[in-house]
Amino acid sequence: MKRFSVVFLAMLACFAALYLVAGEVKEHPLVRPFPGSTLNDNVCHYADFDEYSFRIVDSDTGKEVKIPVRGKYWQLLYTLYTPDNKWDKSHSVVELKENYKAAALEKGGEVRLDRGNDLIFTLPGEDGRRTWVHLWVTNGAQQNLRIIEESGFKKSLTFGSVEMKEALDVDGHVSLNDIFFDVDKATLKVESTKQLQDVVTLMKTNPELVLEVQGHTDDQGSTDYNLTLSQKRAEAVVSYLKLFGIDQERLTPKGYGESRPVMPNASEEGRARNRRVELVKE
């Protein structure tokens, strides 16, 4: 096997200027392909923010679980070609995977799944954020990559009552990202008032609506503690809505604790996104 044939560029900052230009796909600045590979950019994709589920082996149970990760997203396909433009199948699946694995470990990475044609690993980044990589090799020549750089969601839209109703009609649920509580308490902060009043408007203009008001937490603290805290926070929202004339029969408070994360809890952004209130149509 060629020694560390896959080269991971050490300095991400040196390549920060790589952007989508003239229709070209933005390659990942850190994760590089096997030497001699060609990017098949017609089937590649980049997004500033997206989600991909990675299969990993749970260290406690030994079973495979899916972890949804959000952030910058790359979908890349690299192919090795012979001089006459045919697939170069002289490299085995094992050789390609072992090169990626060795290079990842050299950068302080962690292998999360190694099975068959698939390899999933993470690379450490700034502020505890990780880069997640799923490689699967086909025919010893093609390297399919799905890469997510963990990052927090940057909210550009605040839902009012109309947008809430549209989301409930389409998706059956809506996440309220502007409802805040004191740390480790179920006390609503004053800056939550605007969105809470939007919920009041939603309920008054749509008297047929019956909702489950869900509380969700991050994974800090024990499971039982988080379940209790999320229940109390859901109840606090329902109590607020009752003050403005909303019938409690239309609202069911339910705490889910840390059991339904929307992002990994490895970063503060992820934990902040997981601490949320959701409205779910019943």
Quote the Cα angle for 74-31-43, to 5°.
Answer: 35
Report the alpha-carbon distance of residue 254 to residue 61 in Å, rounded. 28
Rounded to a whole number of angstroms, the distance between the first and last alpha carbons of the chain is 58
Q: What is the pLDDT of residue 14?
A: 32
Phi-psi region of 221 (alpha: psi -120 to 50; beta: other; left: phi over 0): left
Which sign does the torsion angle of CA 44, 49, 53, 58 carry? positive
Q: Name the 3-class secondary structure at 94.
A: helix
Q: Name the 3-class secondary structure at 278.
A: strand
Q: Which domains does the chain have, with CATH numbers?
A: 12-150 (no CATH), 161-281 (3.30.1330.60)
pLDDT at 153 exceeding the cut of 70: no
* DSSP character string of 173-196: EEEETT--B-TTS-PBPGGGHHHH
Give the Å distances, CA to CA, from 68 to 65, 181, 192, 235.
Answer: 10, 26, 28, 28
Q: How confident is the model over 164-185, as pLDDT tens digits?
A: 999 999 999 999 888 999 989 9
Report the alpha-carbon distance of residue 101 to residue 122 in Å, rounded. 10
Over residues 107-134, mean pLDDT: 92
Q: What is the pLDDT of residue 17?
A: 33
Q: What is the pLDDT of residue 10?
A: 31
pLDDT at 274 exceeding the cut of 50: yes
Give the Å distances, CA to CA, from 8 to 24, 112, 133, 143.
Answer: 21, 18, 12, 15
Q: How confident is the model over 203-249, as pLDDT tens digits?
A: 999 999 999 999 999 999 999 999 999 999 999 999 999 999 999 99
Report the alpha-carbon distance of residue 150 to residue 125 in Å, rounded. 9
Share of the chain above pLDDT 70, in %: 88
Q: What is the pLDDT of residue 152?
A: 61
Q: What is the pLDDT of residue 59?
A: 76
Report the alpha-carbon distance of residue 265 to residue 273 in Å, rounded. 9
Q: What is the DSSP letter of 6?
A: S
Q: What is the pLDDT of residue 1?
A: 43
pTM of the entire predicted model: 0.52
Q: Which of 18-27, 132-141, 185-194, 245-254 has the lowest mean pLDDT?
A: 18-27
Q: What is the pLDDT of residue 24?
A: 53
Over residues 263-269, mean pLDDT: 80
Q: What is the pLDDT of residue 157?
A: 52
Q: How confident is the model over 75-104, as pLDDT tens digits?
A: 999 999 999 999 999 999 999 999 999 999
Q: What is the pLDDT of residue 165?
A: 93
- CB burial of residue 42 (10 Å; 0-12, 13-18, 19+): exposed
Q: How confident is the model over 11-59, as pLDDT tens digits?
A: 233 333 333 333 456 799 899 999 999 999 899 999 988 899 999 988 7
Q: Which two tokens stand for residue 98?
A: 């072992």
- What torsion do the CA atoms of 12, 15, 16, 21 make, to the nearest 10 degrees? -150
